[in-house]
Amino acid sequence: MKNFKFTKMHTLGNNYIYVNMFKEYIAEEMLTSIAVNVSNIHTGIGSDGLILICPSEEADVKMRIFNNDGSEAENCGNGLRCVAKYVYENKLVNKDKFTIETLSGVVKAQVYIKDDSVLKVTINLGKPKLRKRDIPMLGMDQCQVVAEPMIFDGNTYISTLVSMGNPHIIFYVEDINQAPLSALGSIVENDYRFPMGINVGFVQVLSEREINYRVWERGSGVTQACGTGACAAVVASILNNYLGKNTLIKVHLAGGDLNVIWSEQEAVLMTGCANTICEGTFYY
């Protein structure tokens, strides 16, 4: 029987199984089934997916993320913060600022240390992508979608699209607790206009510096938090003139809070915690 060592980590309740591929080996053809199996709450470990921490030729380390349905995703803001914590505390890097390669490109990480432990992490996700071709969405590929009416399941929703290396659609609601996460999430995620699928987010604007955000994640369903989604929500809210650029925004998610800023230099920076839950061995 084969096995590998794992670490289970979470940020704001968004939890993944992390595997140090500097030490472990999982055959490429097994990754999809392994992601499904480790994520299973009844017969596996239970998680929102699987994240591999790998060597990189372009950055200090590389992150690969698999959703709990086995599909590979381009990026994960919460996953990046946990990867940053893991690689620093396990001495895969020896500096507090370093780079992480993702399927959507290389991002910058900064860890904040106390007594050799990482207390919080800032991820610089770079510039958001706003054209239809970048989401991707079918249609005129140079256009942006900001406050555009779109029909889903026979109803019209005012929609804004943002890519933070992975695709997000943002809707606005008056009460976040009434957001139709489960009722609408799967329908929008699998809509034919989004050939790669899409993450579905709902925003309630509380003030010029504060929003509530809930998310249906592509390939995983309802989760407690989504880092790239929180960033997409801030960008969308600035595009819709609810918030201001270069202002620190507090994003309230089901699992806790993130601080996000879209700077005048166009980069989106996200700061929040990262936590280790447990370590163990998975047999397959």
Instruction: Assign domain 3-124+272-283 to its CATH architecture.
Output: Roll (3.10)
List, run by run, the mean pLDDT of 10-residue segments along the chain (284 residues): 97 96 97 97 96 98 97 94 98 97 96 95 96 91 92 96 97 97 96 96 98 96 95 98 95 97 91 97 96
- Bridge partners (DSSP) of residue 151 are 156
Give the pLDDT of residue 212: 98
Residue ranges per domain, the chain?
A: 3-124+272-283, 132-266
Secondary structure (3-state) at 80: helix
Report the distance separating Cα 127 and Cα 137, nearest Å. 18
Contact between residue 115 and residue 221 where contact means Cβ atoms under 8 Å apart: no
For the chain, the straight-line distance linking the first and the last C-alpha, in angstroms and rounded, comes to 6
Can you state the percent helix, strand and coil of the chain, rounding each to 5?
Answer: 20, 45, 40
Q: Do domains 3-124+272-283 and 132-266 have the same CATH topology?
A: yes
Annotated catalytic residues are 76, 226
- Bridge partners (DSSP) of residue 16 are 9
Give the pLDDT of residue 272: 96
Q: In CATH, which superfamily holds the domain spanning 132-266?
A: Diaminopimelate Epimerase; Chain A, domain 1 (3.10.310.10)
Give the pLDDT of residue 51: 98
Give the pLDDT of residue 151: 97
Secondary structure (3-state) at 196: coil
Residues 180-205 as b/e (b if ≥16 CB within 10 A, e otherwise) read bbeebbeebbebebbeebbbbbbbbb
| Beta carbons within 10 angstroms of residue 72's beta carbon | 16
